[in-house]
């Protein structure tokens, strides 16, 4: 096995030359100054992670505005940028900022995203699904297609499952050409937000006490169960969550007819989504060649040594920026044009907050 198989990768100079991307904060913004930043939905799971990521990556913040419901407004919360008082959202005030992250539902985004970003308004990075398939709005995973966001004021963040999977699929597509993707996902409770994580923890506590497990946010009780149902079912028998992977992968990769099939399953873990992926490639592919390609891509960590039981897991991917990829092997159905792999990434980071912040860094 190559030495790269177990190392956490960093941005290579070759990759930077090819894409023009540097994964560091945009310190040159506003003539070397700092930025006025807002987060709508700041008390939710994704909003809280955005605050942490901004601090960890030393994003150049001059003012931080946290917007939440009237119930939370007026409360002061500690942040890496000092204590900040939560505000109710007000369009006029928010338009005076430089960058706004929307970590709320699609209805809010549909109502306010264009009003915020139009004219001299701020850049808006939307985490909802409202604009992902809008042909006029770039859907961005920065390491893959950041150039589509150039000059745009409204940018969509992908679905968490799509973002995590494409971190591994994109470099393989560049190297070998992907014809078909078959994906099965194992998605954590965090995909349903803070409420989903709370319901899982409460349900486990109820089980331990011998009490009934109640479910409100999930179709069935999640503790000690798996649920092959995320989002609403479509006419073709897939759920909307599954179709998002197909639609969004095609848009981000720029391959409108890419064959992608997904089965999405909710599992009783708190954070980090996992995905079992099978691909058929245009060119012959080997596990050794794939490990080298994946090991040189920024944001990926190859964890692939079965002799020492090293493979991706939610336990090791949680709270980490890199997406883990392993169990890399020749697929016995597609032969030398097929590969099988397993990826795991923190849904609240690479699948949401981290992706959004890196987009802002690159603008």
**What's the confidence (pLDDT) of residue 300?**
98
pLDDT tens digits for 285-323?
A: 999 999 999 999 999 999 999 999 999 999 999 999 999
Residue 160 among the catalytic residues: yes
pLDDT exceeds cutoff 80 at 208:
yes
**What's the confidence (pLDDT) of residue 363?**
83
Q: Mean pLDDT, the chain, as a whole number?
A: 92
Residue 262 among the catalytic residues: no
**What's the confidence (pLDDT) of residue 32?**
58
Residue from 65, 160, 173, 337 carrying the catalytic annotation: 160
pLDDT exceeds cutoff 60 at 14:
no
pLDDT tens digits for 48-77?
A: 999 999 999 999 999 999 999 999 999 999
pTM, two decimal places: 0.89
Report the 3 state secondary structure along the chain.
CCHHHHCECCCCHHHHHHHCCCCCCCCCHHHHCCEEEEEECCCCHHHHHHHHHHHHCCCCEEEEEEEECCCCCCCEECCCCCCEECEECCHHHHCCCCEEEECCCHHHHHHHHHHHHCCCCCEEEECCCCCCCCCCCCECCHHHHHHHHCCCCEEECCCHHHHHHHHHHHHHHHHHCEEEEEEEEEECHHHHHHHHHHHHHHHHHHHHCCCCCCCCCCCCCCCCCCECCCCCECCCCCEHHHHHHHHHHHHHHCCCCCEEEEEEEECCCCCCEEEEEEEEECCCCCHHHHHHHHHCCCCEEECCEHHHCECCCHHHHCCCCCEEEEEEEECCCCHHHEEEEEEEECCCHHHHHHHHHHHHHHC
pLDDT exceeds cutoff 90 at 176:
yes
Residue from 65, 273, 337, 344 carrying the catalytic annotation: 273
More confident residue, 16 or 89: 89
The mean pLDDT of 231-240, rounded to a whole number, is 98
**What's the confidence (pLDDT) of residue 193?**
87
pLDDT band at 175, cuts 50/70/90? very high
């Amino acid at each position: 096995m190559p030495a790269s198989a177990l190392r956490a990768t960093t941005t290579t100079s070759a990759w930077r030359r090819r894409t023009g991307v540097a994964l560091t904060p945009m310190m040159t913004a506003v003539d070397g100054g700092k930025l006025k930043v807002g987060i709508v939905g700041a008390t939710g799971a994704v909003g809280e992670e955005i605050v942490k990521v901004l601090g960890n990556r030393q994003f150049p913040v001059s003012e931080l505005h946290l917007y939440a419901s009237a119930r939370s407004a007026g409360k002061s919360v500690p942040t890496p940028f000092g204590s900040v008082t939560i505000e109710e959202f007000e369009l006029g005030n928010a338009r005076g900022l430089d960058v706004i992250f929307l970590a709320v539902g699609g209805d809010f985004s549909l109502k306010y995203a264009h009003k915020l970003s139009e004219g001299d308004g701020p850049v808006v990075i939307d985490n909802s699904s409202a604009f992902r398939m809008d042909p006029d709005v770039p859907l961005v995973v920065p390491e893959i297609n950041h150039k589509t966001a150039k000059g745009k004021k409204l940018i969509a963040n992908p679905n968490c499952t799509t973002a995590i999977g494409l971190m591994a699929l994109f470099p393989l597509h560049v190297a070998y050409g992907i014809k078909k993707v078959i994906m099965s996902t194992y998605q954590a409770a965090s995909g349903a937000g803070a409420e989903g994580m709370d319901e899982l923890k409460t349900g486990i506590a109820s089980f331990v006490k011998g009490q009934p497990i109640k479910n409100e946010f999930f179709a069935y009780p999640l503790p000690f169960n798996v649920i092959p149902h995320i989002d609403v079912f479509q006419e073709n028998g897939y759920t909307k969550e599954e179709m998002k992977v197909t639609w969004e992968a095609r848009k981000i990769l720029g391959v409108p007819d890419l064959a992608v099939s997904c089965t999405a399953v909710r599992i009783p873990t708190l954070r980090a989504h996992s995905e079992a992926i099978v691909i058929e490639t245009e060119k012959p592919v080997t596990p050794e060649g794939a490990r080298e390609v994946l090991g040189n891509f920024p944001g990926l960590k190859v964890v692939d040594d079965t002799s020492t039981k090293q493979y991706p897991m939610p336990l090791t991917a949680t709270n980490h920026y890199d997406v883990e990829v392993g169990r890399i092997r020749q697929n016995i159905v597609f032969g030398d044009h097929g590969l099988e792999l397993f990826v795991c990434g923190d849904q609240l980071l690479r699948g949401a907050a981290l992706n959004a912040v890196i987009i802002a860094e690159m603008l």
